[in-house]
């Protein structure tokens, strides 16, 4: 049995997050679970304060390899890009398999 977390969110933020996660082929729960797994594993909270270009859509077919290329292009190290690309692929596999992401 899994524990449950309840959080209060602005309704607009929740709708935007649900829409984006759906476009990526994930559930919002899966995205939050992946974030918490990364947080526990790395002991870091990583996010950007730079607003992304809203005219660029993120395709639902995005893969870890695509993510690695984008991170490298954005100036992140190859090691950082590879680690997050592999994590993303594992998250997608686990989400589609219906299993939890193992730490």
Full pLDDT tens readout for the chain, 103 residues:
788 889 998 999 899 889 888 888 888 998 898 888 888 888 888 766 555 555 444 555 667 788 788 878 878 888 887 887 787 777 766 655 555 544 4
Contacts of 103 (CB under 8 A, 6+ apart): 37, 40, 41
pTM of the predicted model over 0.85: no
Q: Please, what is the Cα angle at 100 between 49 and 70, to 5 degrees? A: 35
Contacts of 84 (CB under 8 A, 6+ apart): 64, 67, 68, 71
């Amino acid at each position: 049995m899994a524990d449950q977390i309840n959080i209060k969110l602005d309704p607009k933020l929740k709708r935007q997050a649900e829409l984006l996660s759906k476009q990526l082929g994930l559930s919002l729960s899966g995205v939050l679970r992946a974030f918490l797994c990364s947080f526990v594993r790395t002991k870091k909270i990583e996010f950007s304060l730079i607003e992304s270009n809203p005219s660029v859509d993120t395709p639902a077919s995005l893969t870890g390899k695509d993510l690695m290329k984008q991170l490298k292009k954005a100036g992140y190290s190859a090691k950082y890009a590879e680690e997050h690309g592999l994590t993303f692929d594992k998250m997608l596999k686990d989400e589609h398999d219906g299993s939890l992401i193992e730490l």
